[in-house]
Amino acid sequence: MSTPVEQKISHAAPELLYETARKKLYELEDLMSFYRSSSQVSLLNESAEKTEVPLSEELLFVLGKAQEHAQFSRGAFSIMLAPLVQLWKLSCAENKVPTHEAIAATLPLCDGDNLQLQRASKTAALKKEGCKIDLGAIGKGYAADVCCDIYQSMGASSAFINLGGNVKALGSRPDGDPWLVGLQHPDKPRGVCFAALQCSNQSVVTSGAYERYQEIDGVRYHHILDGETGYPAKTELKSVTVISSSSLEADALSTAAFVLGLDEGLSLIKESDCHGAVFFTSQNEIYLTKGIKRQVILTESFACYEA
């Protein structure tokens, strides 16, 4: 998953739990990686149009959830943007912005309907030549959920996993206090936080424009795309952090809310099953949803609004 992983496990024999989760993470990478030619995701991506590709129950589960979140977010979150993600990656590697024509030609491949899941036969098919899926905005969330399930099923009631900023806490800390998760300040060096979030049995996931971007001719292009325009999401937000019992949900919703922007993003969060969100705007204002206000400790004084 191209990311460092941190596991904290309170248990009499934590090594076994750690090792089991570690193995599972490699297994998930083998299943869901966009870049490994042998992964099931790649087998589907390289399949001829309309060919039914057999998939594991686990991948079908993740794809089903991805479709639910795409529908719920009206396409702001979409695993079908892979061809567009690739176009931007290839162009940026040459220090170029893709042409309007190339973007316009790629957009029809990104339609949500282009992926068809057949639950009965446990297969999936892509409708058009060139369609691909990319689980980059949901895979780490799913993996965090799976690892916490492993810890719990092996007898731990206190554990914590951090997959490159995608955090999930099982129970509370061994001393009974809630886990504390730092929220990265979008404009400050890595590790400098604008808030600490207290959490127990919750996942905390942030999407932002500040970490992965490329500057071309003085303009920043970040890695979260808007499937309507084909360009990086134009938003008044620097980051969105979502708190949920499900890390998969927090991962998908944080990406979606970032694309939708403050107003629509807030509505989406309120309509969803998640516990709440923290929005950091380009004006350095903070918007907190009611449900999680008591969990947030700001490290500096910000203009802070309850939404």
Q: Interface residues with Mg ion (CB under 5 A)?
A: 137, 251, 255
Helices 57-72, 14-32: axis angle to 10 degrees equals: 70
Q: Residue 290: name its binding partner from Mg ion, ligand ADP, none (Cβ under 5 to 8 Å by kind).
A: none
- Give least dist CB 27 to Mg ion, A: 21
Touching ligand ADP, residues 245-264 (CB under 6 A): 251, 255, 259
Is residue 165 within 8 A of residue 91, CB to CB? The reply is no
Total residues at interface with ligand ADP (CB under 6 A): 17
Looking at the Cβ atoms of 81 and 156, the one nearer to ligand ADP is 81
- Give least dist CB 11 to Mg ion, A: 29
Looking at the Cβ atoms of 156 and 237, the one nearer to ligand ADP is 237
Site for ligand ADP contains 207 (CB under 6 A): yes
Query: Any residues with CB less than 8 A from the CB of 158 and at least 6 apart, and which?
Result: 9, 10, 170, 171, 172, 173, 174
Half-sphere exposure for 130 (CA within 13 Å, toward CB): 12
Query: Any residues with CB less than 8 A from the CB of 154 and at least 6 apart, and which?
Result: 11, 16, 17, 20
Q: Which of 65, 223, 238, 275 binds ligand ADP (CB under 6 A)?
A: 223
Q: Could you say which DSSP state residue 232 is in?
A: B
- Give least dist CB 234 to ligand ADP, A: 12
Touching ligand ADP, residues 83-142 (CB under 6 A): 85, 134, 136-137
Q: Which of 26, 22, 21, 63 is nearest to 41 (CA)?
A: 63
Residues forming contacts to ligand ADP in the complex (CB under 6 A) are 77-79, 81, 85, 134, 136-137, 207, 212, 223-225, 227, 251, 255, 259
